[in-house]
Amino acid sequence: MFEKIKWYSSLRWQLLAILLVIGIVPVFFFQGLISGSVEDYFISQRQIELMRVTNITADIVQRNNYLEINREALSYTMYLRSIEEDVRILILDSSGMVISDSADLYEGDFLVMPEVVSAFRGTIDSNIQENGTTRYTAAPIFYGEEVAGVALVISAVQNIDDLLDVISVQANMMTFIIAAFSFAASLMVFYLISSPLTRMTKVVQRMSEGHLDQRIEVTGNNEFSQLCLAFNDMNDKLERVEQTREEFVSNVSHELKTPLSAIKVLAESILHEENVEKETYVEFLTDIKSEIDRMDHIINDLLTLVRLDQSQSFLTVSDVDINLLMQNIVKRLRPLADIKDIMLHREDVKEAVAKGDEMKLTLALGNLVENAIKYTSEGGEVKVTVDADNHHIFITVEDTGIGIAEEELPKIFTRFYRVDKTRDRDTGGTGLGLSITHTTVLMHKGSIKVTSVEGEGTTFLVRLPIM
């Protein structure tokens, strides 16, 4: 019945793969995204810082008129600033010639660079060299409204790269740590989810083989433990259903076997006797007919239960006057009460009309009144009461009969169950009447309760909704 599942199509491995993808892939994705953002941030901040240094340098040269006078002071001042800012500073005059170089390399040379050209046009410009190792930042030096020179600041990019490498190593370590924790968490979630599913699968497989006594071990208090409890409860019910089915088959076999055995004995007695008188034939045939009637009664009750076990769509629903229905039941059963000199009376406290199947309700409620008469001794009393409130109708059948022992009360609606098998057989009962009543009341979304004191009497209370 259970086909072997390939590992790659197993829900457990698919779940683990999903957990790993959800838990680990985003970690590496965000690590790359954050690393790129950090790199861009540091580069942009370094660019802004160099532009600030360059502007300040150009402003110092302009305010101190270093291009016109005191060029020795210019070189010394730029040398100090280069050490302070950890950069290389070049000052160019209006012709583009280097008049000061903090590294003493390009003095007297002419520089034509995009950043210098932009500065001579009056704008500050900053770019990284093509080899990616140096950044050039140039700012104009104004005298009045004209550009008299250019301050050029050169900074090594390697410092930023070294810092980014350190950050990248730390980020990678954090990423792998988070990924490891995500992997461990995924395994834990996988175990927490797959473990009860695996246990349930094994139990279901065992149940499919006919072992209905299987149960799932319940651990913890979560949704899965609740599911396991519900599954175990379902197993209990299935086991009870199977037990009830076996008992039902056994009871049916027993109930049918008894009259069949009696018919066989009676028939064999007639066959084996010679010169049997007519009166004996009549007596034996009458007994055979009685047993056949009993079998017919059992079969009819069984067919009634089968029909009641089917869907509620088979209810023929109409407005049912419960007062009139109980009046007709009492009227029909009064001769049975009169034979035993039982006082049978009815009381209508309120008018009650329900929506239901009149025929099925008549059979169900009639069983209660008939049982009350059968199990009440001569001279006793049976009382039928109909009451109602805004939501429900209450039908009470109370007798002063033999009563039912307290330990027997939970079993009386079980099919073929008899409190006193001898007495039920004498009264012609099959043990199915109360089961029919119980099923019918449930079909009408009602309830039935019973209270009894052994030797004093029994009371059945049926509650039906006013639909």
What secondary structure letter does DSSP report for 399? Answer: E
pLDDT digits (tens, 9 = 90+) for 26-45: 766 666 666 666 666 777 77
Which among 284, 307, 330 is the end of a domain? 307
Which among 145, 162, 179 is the end of a domain? 162
Q: Are residues 155 and 259 in the same domain?
A: no
What is the C-alpha to C-alpha distance for residues 245 and 112, in angstroms, rounded to an integer?
103
Please say if the pLDDT value at position 307 is more than 70: no
Q: How many domains is the chain partitioned into structurally?
A: 3
| Three-state helix/strand/coil letters over 273-295 | CCCCCHHHHHHHHHHHHHHHHHH
Token look-up 């040379």 returns 109
**Res 15: pLDDT:** 65
pLDDT digits (tens, 9 = 90+) for 197-216: 777 777 777 776 666 667 76
Q: Are residues 116 and 255 in the same domain?
A: no
3-state helix, strand, coil in the chain (%, to 5): 60, 20, 25
What global pTM score does this model have?
0.45
**Res 412: pLDDT:** 83
Query: 253 pLDDT band (50/70/90 cuts)?
Result: low
C-alpha distances in Å from residue 4, one per residue of 212, 381, 417: 22, 67, 45
**Res 133: pLDDT:** 73
Q: Are residues 256 and 361 in the same domain?
A: no
In a domain, 217, yes or no: no
Core vs surface per residue 314-337: b (16+ CB within 10 A) or e? ebeeeebebbebbeebbeebbeeb
Q: Which range is most confident: 15-24, 256-265, 332-341?
A: 332-341
Over residues 87-112, mean pLDDT: 89
Q: Are residues 286 and 376 in the same domain?
A: no
Q: Are residues 237 and 318 in the same domain?
A: no
pLDDT digits (tens, 9 = 90+) for 154-188: 987 666 556 566 666 766 677 677 767 777 776 67
Q: Average model confidence (pLDDT) for the chain?
A: 78
Please say if the pLDDT value at position 125 is more than 50: yes
Q: What is the CATH number of the domain that holds 300?
A: 1.10.287.130
Q: Are residues 89 and 30 in the same domain?
A: yes
**CA 296, 299, 301, 303: dihedral to nearest 10 degrees?**
-130
C-alpha distances in Å from residue 67, one per residue of 78, 111, 205: 13, 17, 96
Q: What is the CATH number of the domain that holds 71?
A: 3.30.450.20
**Res 27: pLDDT:** 66
pLDDT digits (tens, 9 = 90+) for 101-118: 988 888 889 988 889 999
Domain with 384 in it: 313-465
What is the C-alpha to C-alpha distance for residues 377 and 400, in angstroms, rounded to an integer?
8
Q: Are residues 72 and 116 in the same domain?
A: yes
**Res 1: pLDDT:** 43
Q: Are residues 242 and 356 in the same domain?
A: no
Query: 19 pLDDT band (50/70/90 cuts)?
Result: low
Looking at per-residue pLDDT, the higher value among 280 and 428 belongs to 280
Q: Taking phi first (over 0 means left), then psi (-120 to 50 degrees means alpha), and beta for anything else, what does residue 96 get?
A: left
In a domain, 171, yes or no: no
In a domain, 169, yes or no: no
Q: What is the CATH number of the domain that holds 328?
A: 3.30.565.10
Which among 111, 140, 162 is the end of a domain? 162
Please say if the pLDDT value at position 3 is more than 90: no
What is the C-alpha to C-alpha distance for residues 419 and 409, in angstroms, rounded to an integer?
9
pLDDT digits (tens, 9 = 90+) for 380-438: 999 999 999 989 999 999 999 998 888 888 878 776 666 554 444 444 455 677 888 88
Percent of the chain with pLDDT strictly greater than 90: 20
**Res 249: pLDDT:** 65
In a domain, 196, yes or no: no
Q: Which residues pair with 460 in a beta bridge?
A: 397, 450
Q: Are residues 298 and 416 in the same domain?
A: no
Query: 7 pLDDT band (50/70/90 cuts)?
Result: very low
Strand, coil or helix: 360: helix
Strand order in the sheet with 146-156: 98-101, 88-93, 146-156, 134-143, 125-128
In a domain, 391, yes or no: yes
Query: 50 pLDDT band (50/70/90 cuts)?
Result: confident
In a domain, 215, yes or no: no
The two tokens of residue 391 are 């939501």
The two tokens of residue 93 are 């005059």
In a domain, 253, yes or no: yes
Q: Are residues 17 and 90 in the same domain?
A: yes
**Res 305: pLDDT:** 60
Q: Are residues 320 and 299 in the same domain?
A: no
In a domain, 446, yes or no: yes
Please say if the pLDDT value at position 147 is more than 50: yes
Q: Are residues 295 and 324 in the same domain?
A: no
